[in-house]
A and B are shown apart, each in its own frame.
Chain A
Amino acid sequence: MELLNALLVSPFAEIFGNPYFFMEVLINGLMAGVMYSLVALGFVLIFKASGVFNFSQGVMVLFAALNFVGLMDALSAYMNPVFAIALAGALTVLIMLGVSLVIERVVLRPLVNQAHIILFMATIGVAYFLEGLGEMIWGSDVRPLHVGIPDDVWFIFNEQVMVQQSDLFAAAVAGGLVLTLALFFHYTRTGRALRAVADDHAAAMSIGIPLNHIWVIVWGVAGFVALVAGIMWGSKLGVQFSLSIIALKALPVLILGGFTSIPGAIVGGLIIGSGEKIAEVYWGSAFGGAIEEWFAYVLALAFLYFRPQGLFGEKIIERV
């Protein structure tokens, strides 16, 4: 009886008793969801274009952030901080492009035509390698990252609900990124080639689209998305090695949204982020706390029973 009360009655009483607090929790959750979406985006890009489930995306986020913060600290001794940020960003983009070039050459090209699970395993190998490399170059300390993202708070709704400006900034960046990607995919030649490859590898090759170049571009774009995600997460939590864990949070976002859908990654992120926070705040105590660890997965799992391809995924048609 007590348990039923804790599950079915008191959370709702709390929600309606203090709607402003609920709003705050909801907004916090949505913002966390935006951050998950940023990581999930990188997964989707690569999965769409090459069918590779890139487990190393989380470590790529970490690696990009490490390089960015390391270069920024090194450069800001010599120049104006704004220039340092811009230059560090440009250099990191180049590094991520280089990384994707190497991954394509060394890892993906020899493994062409292997089973998906083999490619997936190879990306786990890449994840280990990049993590070791990043730690070797930049050390394992937590580094604070300040790139001028506002970190003040605003009060809205009769001054009752607190909103972090940095969260709003992150949401704006994520929105801008998705818009840029959408424009890039729709209106550029490369974008069109990418879509063709995503649709059908063999058909794309037969009309003369070089698959290898496309893969490098896709991994490069994913590296860029990883950098953006890394900067966002880094300025929130500091650049540290636990960042690669957030990749695991991006996975339920992916299955909820569908592996092949960019809007799916965003919507999935928002659902997972808000659902997780609300569940933790209102229902967590009934279960003994820390249900954030698995709630996202169980939510995604429950969802899969009803729509196996995810929210926006393509319907899977199978023939013998």
Chain B
Amino acid sequence: MIYREAGQFKTSYAADQALLTIPMDRWFVMGLVAFAVIVMPIIGSDYWLGSIMIPVLILTIAAMGLNILTGYAGQLSLGSGAFMAAGAYMAYKVATNLPWVPVPFAILLGGCSAALAGIVFGLPSLRIKGFYLAVATLAAQFFLLWLFTHVDWFVNYSISGVPSIADYHLLWDWGPLVTGADASVEARYLFVLGFAILLALGARNMARCKIGRSWMAIRDMDIAAEIIGIRPLTTKLSAFAISSFYCGIAGALWAFCYINTVEPSAYDISVSFNILFMVIVGGLGSILGSFLGAAFIFLLPILLNNAPTWFGIELPADLLSEIELMLFGAMIIFFLIVEPHGLARLWQIGKEKLRRWPFPY
């Protein structure tokens, strides 16, 4: 009985409506956030913070975005990479052409442009659904990436087409450097973490209030939802807009805080697929799942690359990449068969077990 729900009485409506009603959950999550904010930057090495935590957190934001669209609103999308690109390119454009806008707002504006793109490419969802829609979102993937690579305006007519990101302070000239190559890893990590926490809170709360409930009604059966008075137009388009907003912010952070350049290859179709895997492996319709899925899918190839050397086996690089592809495919199938509700469900099962521990039934 390590984990207890019994005897946790709620005595006010506020307590009943709290984000996490069980004190144990609440303290655990607060502890985790405090650990991530305070302890991680101190104990984490540059490699851990810069090459693992930052990309995982950014991918988590993108996975949350797709989870809003696919997990909550039930609209399948294969264009998340394109919306990330939209966020990145527009944030770059804002940051370079409107220097009086501080960089966090440039990133937010990038997210807003991605949301606009999401609405445009989400319009077909009013008439088509399922796989037709998935293919339609591929149009976004190809069209937007083509647009950003062929229209020089987006990269300020830079000759290489892959401009690098300048160093920006948090607000104008104030605060530490948060983007670019000269920024310290800790500052970039905390900057990304701030976005991740705020957006996770936002997503969790959106799912609990009216808009989230109408998404879920549309997901479960759109005609029935329409009959009970939910407007499919606004509901579906809001899901597309908010999902793309999240993806856009993730894309902008990817360019500003991780790779330090705006390059189209960082947002190609394999990125879209990877984000879809994160959502599926993590758990559809679960914010926790987005974190777990992003960490799993990002770390798996790293693990697969390093595991043979730990056992003292030297494998040629091309064989390793082939094994990686095969294992990736096999893992996905395995996960889908064994736990179609994803890692988030495993976490839930773990809590069930702890609740009954040490009794096995």
Contact B332 A294 (CB under 8 A): no
Interface residues of A in 42-100 (CB under 8 A from B): 53
Known contacts A114-B340, A132-B323; is A298 also within 8 Å of B333 by CB? no
Which residues does chain A contribute within 8 Å of B323, judged by CB atoms? 132, 136
Which residues does chain A contribute within 8 Å of B269, judged by CB atoms? 248
Which residues does chain B contribute within 8 Å of A291, judged by CB atoms? 146
Proximity bits, A260-301, B CB within 8 Å = 1, else 0: 000000000000000000000000000111110110011011
Nearest B residue (CB) for A53:
B131
Contact B150 A106 (CB under 8 A): no
Contact B146 A320 (CB under 8 A): no
Contact B132 A308 (CB under 8 A): yes
Which residues does chain A contribute within 8 Å of B150, judged by CB atoms? 287-290
Check if B34 is an interface residue, CB within 8 A of chain A: no
Which residues does chain A contribute within 8 Å of B80, judged by CB atoms? none
Nearest B residue (CB) for A131:
B325
Of A130, A287, A304, the most chain B CB neighbours within 10 A belong to: A304
Contact A132 B333 (CB under 8 A): no
Which residues does chain A contribute within 8 Å of B124, judged by CB atoms? 301, 304-305
Contact A320 B333 (CB under 8 A): no
Check if B357 is an interface residue, CB within 8 A of chain A: no
Contact B146 A290 (CB under 8 A): yes
Inter-chain CA distance A135–B143, complex, in Å, is 30
Query: Which secondary structure dominates where chain B touches chain A?
Result: helix
Check if B273 is an interface residue, CB within 8 A of chain A: yes
Contact B332 A128 (CB under 8 A): yes
Inter-chain CA distance A287–B224, complex, in Å, is 43
Which residues does chain B contribute within 8 Å of A254, judged by CB atoms? 135
Inter-chain CA distance A254–B133, complex, in Å, is 12
Which residues does chain B contribute within 8 Å of A287, judged by CB atoms? 150
Inter-chain CA distance A135–B323, complex, in Å, is 10
From A122, A128, A248, A300, contact of B325 by CB (8 A):
A128
B280 CB to closest chain A CB, in angstroms? 5
Known contacts A255-B132, A320-B227; is A248 also within 8 Å of B138 by CB? yes
B272 CB to closest chain A CB, in angstroms? 11
Which residues does chain A contribute within 8 Å of B277, judged by CB atoms? 121, 124
Contact B143 A297 (CB under 8 A): yes
Nearest A residue (CB) for B324:
A132
Known contacts A135-B322, A136-B319, A297-B143; is A251 also within 8 Å of B329 by CB? no
Check if A117 is an interface residue, CB within 8 A of chain B: yes
Which residues does chain A contribute within 8 Å of B223, judged by CB atoms? 318-320
Contact B76 A117 (CB under 8 A): yes
Inter-chain CA distance A120–B273, complex, in Å, is 12
Which residues does chain A contribute within 8 Å of B325, judged by CB atoms? 128-129, 131-132, 135
Which residues does chain A contribute within 8 Å of B280, judged by CB atoms? 117-118, 121
Nearest A residue (CB) for B226:
A320
Which residues does chain B contribute within 8 Å of A297, judged by CB atoms? 135-136, 138-139, 142-143
Which residues does chain A contribute within 8 Å of B70, judged by CB atoms? 117
A-B contact pairs, 27 of them (CB 8 A): A107-B337, A111-B337, A114-B336, A116-B131, A117-B76, A117-B280, A121-B277, A121-B332, A125-B330, A125-B332, A125-B333, A128-B326, A131-B329, A132-B329, A133-B326, A248-B269, A251-B135, A288-B150, A294-B146, A297-B138, A297-B139, A298-B143, A300-B139, A301-B139, A304-B128, A308-B127, A318-B223
- B residues whose Cβ falls under 8 Å from a Cβ of A: 70, 76, 124, 127-128, 130-132, 134-136, 138-139, 142-143, 146, 150-151, 221, 223-224, 227, 269, 273, 276-277, 280, 318-319, 322-333, 336-337, 340
Per CB-CB distance, the 9 closest pairs between chain A and chain B, nearest first, are: A132-B325, A129-B329, A128-B329, A132-B326, A125-B332, A297-B139, A294-B142, A125-B333, A294-B143
- A118-B336, A120-B76 known; 7 other A-B pairs, CB under 8 Å? A53-B134, A124-B273, A124-B277, A124-B332, A252-B139, A297-B136, A305-B124
